[in-house]
């Protein structure tokens, strides 16, 4: 009997494989980190072969941990770091260069040139995005321009390009399928979110040949079947794909206009569902595709605020400063003090994302005194994460009000991701926003979203309504501080952000 789902969550710092049943009971979960490469300041790269090795390793270990017959797997779903893009040889499947990661800022000057040439309005209208090095299109142009002979190979059809979902599907199907889904395509700067297709004007502006790009498919359908994957039998349907934040929105059962979730990972990402009509933000949020449930289904849209540095700020405390031995220790250290004092940390370690969009901003720690210690810095780091999220949630709330959406973000925020397990961070978020923070019993909602999408495609779930019945709350965090204290903290934060 095929009754289980294997979900691949390929993230920025590691890969997680999860095996679940149709009640979302977790049978196995295995994570492996893989190397991050920083060839120059502000540059971030991943080796696609190292990513694939982490995928095969975690699949094998998850199957062993679950102690199941892999023939019970009914479908495989994928969720992935979105804007990271790579290029590989169509014959050998080998990467021709390291993938350029979403955090990488190497194309900032080129984005500035495009703005100076008057392209910003064109990209904003057609893609819902900003001309920022965050997105895939300018990264792909850099690869074509800077890797020797790559553009000629692209023109000859000898190489394939894609975001990480495309690369994984290629490898999972033995090179038989080169596709992406609409959510990932909507993050490339090459895809028109109104027509649901690549746009010739955008591709021309970035000099991207269409022969290089994957076919765009819906978020929930059978794309192909496994072939030659270590540990897996051939013939398992690869049946659901969504970029990590859209997958988390789906996994949180945020299906109604105004529903909001916040995912705390390497970065932090707040997404609000807006229904079947794209809404263009007046407050510097991104318009993006939330999902498409089958090839004939309508596109569903969302507004998103992307924060570049959240969990990675805690990793910096661990790896850069050495004041904690593991990321999990930050909560206990921060709880040693009742306040960060005058210390404010703006974690703009890779620039500032929404709603500021300042790629050249850098991190700043303000208000240090002789009495400042490890605990104050740890608490200021958690506050810095929550304050960035506050800025985005306030912007989304303003958009929701102006566009007449039912704004549940005025009352609740559904949270997930690894750092959502941090009680202090969740309480800080509730206090800052003056809203109830709701945490599900399975905080791996990104993987859950991929599992739901794959399960719908193969009939394990009938509809979004059946998915909503599976979602379960674990804990609520109610606001528990006076607004005067919040106002003082916000004032310090705004002064610090202005100087970052």
DSSP 307-342: ES-SHHHHHHIIIII-S-SSTTHHHHHHTTSS--TT
Q: What are the tens digits of pLDDT across the range 332-389?
A: 999 999 989 899 999 999 888 889 888 788 999 999 999 899 999 999 999 999 999 9
- Give the H or E element holding residue 76: strand 73-80
Q: By C-alpha distance, which of 309, 317, 387, 311 is closest to 347?
A: 309
Residue 460, SS3 per DSSP:
coil
Q: What are the tens digits of pLDDT across the range 143-167?
A: 999 999 999 999 999 999 999 999 9
pLDDT at residue number 189: 97
| Per-residue confidence band for 408, with pLDDT thresholds at 50, 70 and 90 | very low
- In the numeric block, the tokens 């958009």 are attached to 399
Provide the b/e sequence for 443-452 (b: ≥16 CB within 10 Å): bbbbbbbbbb
Mean pLDDT of the chain: 92
Alpha-carbon distance values, 445 to 103, 249, 264, 362 (Å): 22, 8, 11, 31
The residues pairing with 349 across neighbouring beta strands, listed in sequence order, are 351
For the cut 90, the answer to whether the pLDDT of residue 406 exceeds it is no
For the cut 90, the answer to whether the pLDDT of residue 246 exceeds it is yes
Q: What are the tens digits of pLDDT across the range 268-313?
A: 999 999 989 888 888 888 999 999 999 999 999 999 998 989 999 9
**Residue 333: burial class (beta carbons within 10 Å; 0-12, 13-18, 19+):** buried
**C-beta of residue 251 within 8 angstroms of C-beta of residue 445:** yes
Distance between CA 347 and CA 368 in Å, rounded?
15
| Per-residue confidence band for 467, with pLDDT thresholds at 50, 70 and 90 | confident
pLDDT (average), residues 224-250: 95
pLDDT at residue number 442: 82
The residues pairing with 6 across neighbouring beta strands, listed in sequence order, are 19, 76
Complete domains list, the chain, with CATH: 4-245 (3.30.420.40)
DSSP states along 210-278: GGGSPEEE-SEEEEEE--S-TTS-TT-EEEEEEEHHHHHHHHTT--STT-EEEEESSSEEEEEEEESS-
Pairing of strands 412-416, 260-264: parallel
Provide the b/e sequence for 352-375 (b: ≥16 CB within 10 Å): bbbbbbebebebbbbbeeeebebb
**C-beta of residue 334 within 8 angstroms of C-beta of residue 315:** no
């Amino acid at each position: 009997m095929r009754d289980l789902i294997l979900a691949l969550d390929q993230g920025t710092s590691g890969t997680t494989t999860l095996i679940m049943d149709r009640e979302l009971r977790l049978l196995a979960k295995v994570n492996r980190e893989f190397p991050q490469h920083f060839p120059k300041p502000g540059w971030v790269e991943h080796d696609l072969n190292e990513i694939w090795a982490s995928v095969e390793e975690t699949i094998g270990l998850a199957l062993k941990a679950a102690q199941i017959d892999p023939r019970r797997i009914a479908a495989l779903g994928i969720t992935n770091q979105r804007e990271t893009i790579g290029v590989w040889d169509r014959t050998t499947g080998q990467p021709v260069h390291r993938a350029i990661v979403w955090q990488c800022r190497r194309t900032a000057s080129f984005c500035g040139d495009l703005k100076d040439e008057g392209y910003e309005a064109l990209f904003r209208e057609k893609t819902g995005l900003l001309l920022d090095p965050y997105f895939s299109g300018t990264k792909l142009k850099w690869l074509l321009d800077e890797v020797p002979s790559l553009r000629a190979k692209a023109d000859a059809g000898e190489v394939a390009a894609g975001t990480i979902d495309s690369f994984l599907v290629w490898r999972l199907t033995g090179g038989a399928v080169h596709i992406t889904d609409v959510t990932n395509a909507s993050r490339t700067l090459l895809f028109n979110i109104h027509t649901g297709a690549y746009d010739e004007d955008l591709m021309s502006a970035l000099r991207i040949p269409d022969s290089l790009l994957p076919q765009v498919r819906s978020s929930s359908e059978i794309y192909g079947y496994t072939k030659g994957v270590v540990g897996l039998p051939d013939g398992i349907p690869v049946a659901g794909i969504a970029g990590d934040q859209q997958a988390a929105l789906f996994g949180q059962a945020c299906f109604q206009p105004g529903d909001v979730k916040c995912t705390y990972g390497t970065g932090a990402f707040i997404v609000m569902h807006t229904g079947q009509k794209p809404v263009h933000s007046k407050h510097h949020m991104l318009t993006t595709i939330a999902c498409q449930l089958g090839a004939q289904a309508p596109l569903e849209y969302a507004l998103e605020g992307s924060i570049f540095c959240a969990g990675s700020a805690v990793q910096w405390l661990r790896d850069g400063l050495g004041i904690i031995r593991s990321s999990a220790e930050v909560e206990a250290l921060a709880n040693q003090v009742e306040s960060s004092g005058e210390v404010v940390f703006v974690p703009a370690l890779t620039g500032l994302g929404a709603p500021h969009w300042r790629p050249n901003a850098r991190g700043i720690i303000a208000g240090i005194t002789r009495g400042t210690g490890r605990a104050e810095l740890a608490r200021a780091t958690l506050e810095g994460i929550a304050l960035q999220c506050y800025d985005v949630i306030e912007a989304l709330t303003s958009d929701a009000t102006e566009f007449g959406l039912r704004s549940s973000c005025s009352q609740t925020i559904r949270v997930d991701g690894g750092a959502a397990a941090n009680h202090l961070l969740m309480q800080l978020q509730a206090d800052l926003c003056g809203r109830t923070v709701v945490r599900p019993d399975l905080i791996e909602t990104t993987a859950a979203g991929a599992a739901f999408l794959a399960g719908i495609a193969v009939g394990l779930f009938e509809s979004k309504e059946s998915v909503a019945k599976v979602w379960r709350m674990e804990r609520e965090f109610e606001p528990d501080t006076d607004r005067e204290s919040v106002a003082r903290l916000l004032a310090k934060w705004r002064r610090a952000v202005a100087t970052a």
